[in-house]
Structure 1
Amino acid sequence: MQMECLLQCSANYVPFTPINFLERAAHVYGDKTSIVYGTTVRFSWRETYERCLKIASALLKLQICRGDIVAALAPNIPALYKLHFAVPMAGAVLSALNTRLDAAMVASILEQLEAKIMFVDYQFVELVLKALNILSQKSVKPPILVVIPEFDQAAASSTANNLPPGSLVYNDVLEMGNSDHFEMLQPENECDPISVNFTSGSTGHPKGVVYSHRAAYLNSLAQISRCDMKEMPVFLWTVDMFRCNGWCCTWALAALGGTNICLRNVSAKVIFDSIFLHKVTHFCGAPAILNIIANASPSEQQPLQNKVNVVIAGALPTAQILEKVSKLGFNIGHAYGMTEVLGIATVRPWKTEWDSSTLDEHEKIRHREGLHSLFIQGVDVKDPSTMKSVPYDGKTIGEIMFKANSIMLGYLKNPKATQEVFRDGWYHTGDLAVRHPDGYIQIKDRKNDIIISGAETISTLEVEAVLLSNPKVSEAAVVGKPDDQLQQVPCAFVKLKDGCDSNPEELVKFCEGYLPSYMVPRAVVFEDIPVNSTGKVQKFTLREKLSQCRIS
């Protein structure tokens, strides 16, 4: 067969990029609601597209060039959602920062990013000013600040007079732009960067994880499948947009013409009220969301008008919590992922009683999808020293590894770390897991956190999930305590909720009701749990404390 006359050109090859989802949404779903915020703010998809064009146009007028980084520090508000499109539409790279960072960490990250401009929600202006002061002492050029006021506020902030020269207000930036004569910039190469997201930095300084247009495009489509979304879903923003670009749901919602219910704060009342008012179909987040729902007061819980899909990533709460949330009308999906794989990579539906003989064909397919995603070419549990797959016995521990198009390009300015995690042609997650006979991958722990106690391997995540299901417990961290006979035994550090009282014996007895004896904490310590500026528990600090003193 003769193939010489074939040609790849602009007619049959267009770089993958999720920003094109927005242009399509403006044409296909133009008058449909794209964003809801509070009781008065609503935008259509056409209005959202026009505003994003204006911001992108304004960025070019502000001398933002292709490849420049634009930082943002804001909660889940409409402005941050729009920046996910507007910044790459200007050819720039978005870096949405964790709103729980302290000033020193913001300064350190800004120095690493070399961001030329930074959008800041009015609530975080003082924090950023402190960070800029730290940068000035290092003679680092600060970014131009653009302050985002609340929609019903004329002034940007009470600190407006203290802003550096050249600072702007978000609404003024909008007015600078022109949506009529601006064409969004397509990536020159689909592997060009679209965003930089930072890891939580549990063992040191957070690393900047660089996403490509191609990976973001593919993972956005993957989210539609993983989260079982249909056309025009209503998505409640309970997962932070700064976490892996909202697990890429920011872009996925545009692909489907869905409605984004933006939230500044999350609570049980907000969740149930939003479901009732807006007919929410989906939301995502950490397992703590299920605890919030299960522990909501009777006055906050409202009967669901329709089934709501909720996808959580992390160690599952107790079966009691899961069953309670499920009976309220929520379909629970259990996800696994991390920053380097653009958020969640696999989702498996949770069932209180999974009997394959009673599942319909659709549910069986969804269970298999959770084991091996359509958009993940390779997911395995391997022995990192031999690179051989572990047996499907539910016992042998190996490291979870991925091979896919929807994985990061690498770590910003850190080629050594990039090469290390991509060795042997696989992405090494650093997470330990087992693989069950049905193929299901069950995460056990991080490499540095898992506890080896005699002949048993203890997942600190599973013990913490049980402790956090106790209505008196606010925070919990489990680490290995040195033991002469067993090498290590589990020890729990616990912070109680305000107004609650307990003792170690009570919590140990509680754990005995849910865990095998070898996993029950041998000691419980009540104190504040050390976390870094991103809120990640510093378990190495707890291990050092245990090694230096006797806690019984």
Structure 2
Amino acid sequence: MNWTDPHLERREANFQPLNPVRFLARENEAHPERTAVIWRDRSWTYGQFNTLAVRLAELMRGEGIVRGDVVSILSRNRPEMLAAHFSVPALGAVLNTINTRLDAEAIAYILRHADTKLLLVDEAVGAAAIEAAAEAGVAVIRLGDGAGQGETGELLSGEVDPDARLDERAIADEWQPVCLNYTSGTTGNPKGVVYHARGAFLNAMGNALSLGFGAGTRYLWTLPMFHCNGWAHTWAVTAAGGTHVCLDAVEPATILDLVADAGITHMSCAPVVLYMLLNHPKAAALKGTERRVSVATGGAAPTASLISQLDAIGFDLVHLYGLTESYGPASIGELADDMSDDDAVIKAEWLARQGVRHKTSGDIRIVDTETGIDQPCDGVSAGEILLRGNTLMAGYHKDPEATEAAFAGGWFHTGDIAVREPGGAMRITDRAKDVIISGGENISSLEVESVLHRHPAVMLAAVVAMPDEKWGETPCAFVELKPGGGVDAGELASFCRAHLAGFKVPRHFIFNELPKTATGKIQKFLLREQARGYGQ
């Protein structure tokens, strides 16, 4: 049988490029009266939100934005920030979301490197961005703090234009760039990660399926939308016809009030946010609730204590793994269907794993870093995580050498070290650059951190290498205590010795608030610099 006959080839009638703009266009057609966005004391239906997005696109077109241009936005989680994820690609342009905590110099670098043509700025957090735009010669549109304010205030009016339509055909090729996201730049200038339309569409659909988004979803935006486009949830929640509940800032009291009163079903955040919530007095009011909230988190493995405390206030954890280069989630670790009543210790052991591939991810390998051979599923043999599939970046903007290195051998090299458990689930043991080599022995910083997080007085811990004349490197622990947590270095060292081999116990403990990114990720590169200073 010849399946390559010309009459079976792809044609315009049976093929369209995958395109995340269609998610909003479809919901506007199907459910224009359904609530799409809640922000402060206001709400927008899908019909109103579609009108907002169309008018934002028209405003940018009036500023001369055309296909291929880069539009940057620096904003809190607000309606225009969400709308830009549809308005910009509907012009055939590329959206660049910028971290609100960057200084003017870092923002100026991104604007120049991205060749930004237009910058949308949330005035409440955008002083540095406005300064950077002036330096880079980039035009600015200011987002006011409410209806009638700034240059976009009229967009928030809530008016519905039944004839307003986003241009779904602006994305003519699913390999067309739709977003440009910059890495954290912990080892120099950040890299610009180019997202294609195909990956954005598929990762969003994978999120909706994996996390159970639907028409009844009320997704609380505790995760910054500028971080990997909010792990692609900007598109995923819209695709499911759910409601986006936008937050100006991560404030525990506000979050807990919304969970209690606004019917929140899902949220995503770093572990530090969860500890902030648990340590707030309002958390006690949620104990014993029958309402459940699905909470997706990444980073350090959740402890039994954390899982138990979250369970008591109705939070169910899902452990994700991913990178900027994978549009956010690449794998998902969640409890088995029959584990809801299991002990917290058993749940913690299960959720310590990053699980299996995301529903629309491709393949995941764990290979020996020396031989490139796949490691066995024994829970012990560590290797680098390699990824391949539809939800990986097109490459690094203006950096062909780094792109080729990242995709060497036909796989994306993550730089993360993991093992496979019997059954195939993945458990990350460290970043390659975070492994501490002491006296020739490898020490996983994550393993030591996991033990420290089990101490009842510890809120957060980060372990890095400190130079040592005898051993080469030794573990140095930076510890942030819970409010009222009274513990000293000697007690923590004894606690570690009870759970770790002696050479893995930190030789130094430094107590202070840990430096974090806007998404709550601990900035280990700053801690490494401090540790090098202490070790000299």
Shift of 1:272: 2.1
Asked if 1:341 corresponds to 2:326, the answer is yes
SS in structure 1 opposite 2:286?
Answer: coil
SS in structure 2 opposite 1:15?
Answer: coil
**What does residue 28 of structure 1 align with?**
30
Tell me which amino acid in the other structure corresponds to 2:143.
Answer: I
SS in structure 2 opposite 1:11?
Answer: helix
Asked if 1:278 corresponds to 2:262, the answer is yes
**What does residue 120 of structure 2 align with?**
119
**What does residue 143 of structure 1 align with?**
138
Pairing partner for 2:240 from 256, 273, 276 = 256
Measured in 1, the distance between the counterparts of 2:149 and 2:374 equals 59
CA RMSD of aligned residues (A): 3.2
Structure 1 segment 37-186 matched on structure 2, within 5 A? 37-39=39-41, 41-133=42-134, 135=135, 140=136, 142-151=137-146, 154-156=148-150, 169-171=151-153, 180=163, 184=167, 185-186=169-170
**What does residue 407 of structure 2 align with?**
422
Alignment size in residue pairs = 523
Asked if 1:438 corresponds to 2:423, the answer is yes
Contact 1:290-1:322 at 8 Å conserved across structures: no
Q: Which range is displaced more, 253-262 or 490-499?
A: 490-499
Contact 2:123-2:142 at 8 Å conserved across structures: yes
**Which residues of structure 1 form unaligned runs of 5+?**
157-168, 359-365
SS in structure 1 opposite 2:384?
Answer: strand
Measured in 2, the distance between the counterparts of 1:435 and 1:382 equals 10
Shift of 1:107: 0.8
**What does residue 13 of structure 2 align with?**
11
Measured in 2, the distance between the counterparts of 1:239 and 1:98 equals 12
SS in structure 1 opposite 2:321?
Answer: strand
**What does residue 165 of structure 1 align with?**
none
Contact 1:53-1:179 at 8 Å conserved across structures: no
Tell me which amino acid in the other structure corresponds to 2:399.
Answer: N
Q: Which range is displaced more, 240-249 or 530-539?
A: 530-539
SS in structure 2 opposite 1:448?
Answer: helix
Measured in 1, the distance between the counterparts of 2:494 and 2:506 equals 10
Normalising by the residue count of structure 2, what TM-score does the alignment of the two structures yield? 0.88
Structure 1 segment 177-256 matched on structure 2, within 5 A? 180=163, 184=167, 185-256=169-240
Q: 1:323 to 1:173 in 2, by over 3 A?
A: closer
Q: 1:279 to 1:368 in 2, by over 3 A?
A: same
Shift of 1:469: 6.3
Shift of 1:24: 0.6
SS in structure 1 opposite 2:142?
Answer: strand
Q: Which range is displaced more, 475-484 or 413-422?
A: 475-484
SS in structure 1 opposite 2:124?
Answer: helix
Pairing partner for 1:392 from 352, 374, 377 = 377
Tell me which amino acid in the other structure corresponds to 1:490.
Answer: P
Q: Which range is displaced more, 322-331 or 336-345?
A: 322-331
Contact 2:69-2:116 at 8 Å conserved across structures: yes
Measured in 1, the distance between the counterparts of 2:462 and 2:452 equals 9
Structure 1 segment 347-366 matched on structure 2, within 5 A? 347-350=332-335
Contact 2:468-2:535 at 8 Å conserved across structures: no
**Which residues of structure 2 form unaligned runs of 5+?**
344-350
SS in structure 1 opposite 2:372?
Answer: coil
Measured in 2, the distance between the counterparts of 1:257 and 1:65 equals 29
**What does residue 161 of structure 1 align with?**
none
Per-residue Cα deviation, 1:14-61 (whole angstroms, up to 9, x for no partner): 11011101011111221010000112x100011111211111122222
**What does residue 361 of structure 1 align with?**
none
Per-residue Cα deviation, 1:154-188 (whole angstroms, up to 9, x for no partner): 544xxxxxxxxxxxx1236789x998476514312
Measured in 1, the distance between the counterparts of 2:337 and 2:198 equals 37
Q: 1:250 to 1:357 in 2, by over 3 A?
A: closer
Q: Give the percent of matched residue pairs that are identical in Structure 1 and Structure 2.
A: 35
Measured in 1, the distance between the counterparts of 2:236 and 2:206 equals 9
Shift of 1:232: 3.3
**What does residue 362 of structure 1 align with?**
none
Q: 1:326 to 1:515 in 2, by over 3 A?
A: farther
